[in-house]
Amino acid sequence: MALYLAEGSATKVLEDEYLRQSLHKVFGQLGKRTRVLAIPPDFTRVHSRAGELTCITDDYYGRSLVDILPALGTHAPMSEYQLSIMYPGIPKKKFREHRWRKDVITVGEVPGDYVEQVTEGIWQKPWPAQMNKLVWNGQHDLIISIGQVVPHEVIGMANYNKNIFVGTGGTEGINESHFIGAAFGMERMMGKINTPLRKILNYAEATFCKKLPILYVLTVIDHTEEGELVTRGLFIGDDVECFEAAARLSAEVNITTLPKRLEKIVVYLDSNEFHSTWLGNKAIYRTRMAIADGGELIILGPGIEKFGEDSEIDRLIRTYGYRSSRQIMKYIRENEDLANNLSAAAHLIHGSTEGRFKVTYCPGQLSSNEIESVGFNYGDVAKTSERYLPKDMKSGWHTNLNGEKYYFISNPALGLWMAK
């Protein structure tokens, strides 16, 4: 077990050449490898620098990098356009599509008594550790898991072994992991390192994955006061020490603590990244601890065209809506389709305001009837953007022409906002 590199701070800026040299140095330390698998994120993490790092990996290993498996989880497959933007120059024939309902294998079960212990009795069943068959059976002599550590609603801090067990995971593992996070309470976990679900995944990796030669390449991304994205940290290793070092830096640079809860927050969802409320609801997750009771969250989503990332999840969201936790739990008890899709149920709980604040959703291609049917208020995206979208797109305080003061967030995926 080794930590090959732990570089970063809240003020450091790591340039492209440093990333390249660092990866090359670590790859050299590992010795010759002839069958390499890379597991980077999909386009929803386009700002993670994982695209550049995967390109550096391809440049170093060449033909020995035989498979690239984007960690889609439940997300839609990457398009040709997205692949070309995020992974320019890499031959398309190297990319494999993860199908979370079909392409998985269960490699073991985390015991129910351990799950019950770490979840404080909320979940009492064994947890199935699942991953794509290619990861388990691919006979690779190096598996490089690449991604960004950032506050996350399901597990506290994103990435590390979540990239394996959820990013390439299967129906049961993803459903139950998401529901564990929702039932435990995302406000108890977001931005925390050692959460119940993280303990479960760490147990699974330590117990079942000893044969897998996994190397983690983790970034921490921040933005300057001018809004420029910068790499604050790069961490490379094969155990939990690598993740925890990255997570400590992420907690320092990716969590914005405000002096009090805010009456109005406006969040922008880039149309290249966010096409569904399944993804776009990060606007709710990442700001809910900063919104005042009775406050309003306005979501500008010009690219939002659907609710779910696949047809079944979309149907479930349309059927049950973003209701209170109590109501969703009742729906689960009474409806087999939702009980069999606990990741969808978790998503509905995560997206609920619990009656505490108001969400005005301004989608590009969903109607007012569709938005209101799932429990949100509807806003016209063009008119609302004209009123609230700042020309400089800088996150922070703004005042519009009507004298309204509001807090603007240009990309909710980059952090977590909370009040003292």
- Given a contact cutoff of 8 angstroms between Cβ atoms, the answer to whether 203 and 110 are in contact is yes
Q: Evaluate if residue 314 carries a pLDDT over 90.
A: yes
**Which CATH superfamily does the domain covering 256-419 fall into?**
LarA, C-terminal domain (3.90.226.30)
Handedness of CA 81, 174, 52, 225 (dihedral sign): positive
Query: What percent of the chain stands above pLDDT 70?
Result: 100
Map out the domains of the chain as residue ranges: 3-253, 256-419
Q: What is the pLDDT of residue 225?
A: 81
What whole-number distance in Å separates Cα of residue 54 and Cα of residue 48? 11
| Phi, psi (degrees; rounded to nearest 5) at 91 | -60, 130
Q: Which fold has domain 3-253?
A: Rossmann fold (3.40.50)
Q: Evaluate if residue 294 carries a pLDDT over 90.
A: yes
Q: Evaluate if residue 76 carries a pLDDT over 90.
A: no
What whole-number distance in Å separates Cα of residue 165 and Cα of residue 326? 28
Residues with Cβ within 8 Å of 289's Cβ and at least 6 positions away in sequence, in order, are: 187, 190, 416, 417, 418, 419
**What is the per-residue pLDDT across 198-234, written as a single tens digit (0 to 9) for each?**
999 999 999 999 999 999 999 999 988 888 899 999 9
Nearest to 85 by CA among 41, 59, 51, 48: 51
**What is the per-residue pLDDT across 112-169, written as a single tens digit (0 to 9) for each?**
999 999 999 999 999 999 999 999 999 999 999 999 999 999 999 999 999 999 999 9
Burial class (CB in 10 A: 0-12, 13-18, 19+), 144: buried
Q: What is the pLDDT of residue 372?
A: 98
pLDDT band at 95 (very low <50, low <70, confident <90, very high): very high
Q: What is the pLDDT of residue 1?
A: 78
- Given a contact cutoff of 8 angstroms between Cβ atoms, the answer to whether 363 and 381 are in contact is yes
Nearest to 30 by CA among 75, 64, 68: 64
What whole-number distance in Å separates Cα of residue 234 and Cα of residue 147? 10
Task: Decide whether 3-253 matches 256-419 in CATH topology.
Answer: no
What whole-number distance in Å separates Cα of residue 276 and Cα of residue 48? 20
Find how far residue 401's CA is from the centre of its chain. 35
Specify the pTM. 0.93
Q: What is the pLDDT of residue 227?
A: 80
pLDDT band at 111 (very low <50, low <70, confident <90, very high): very high
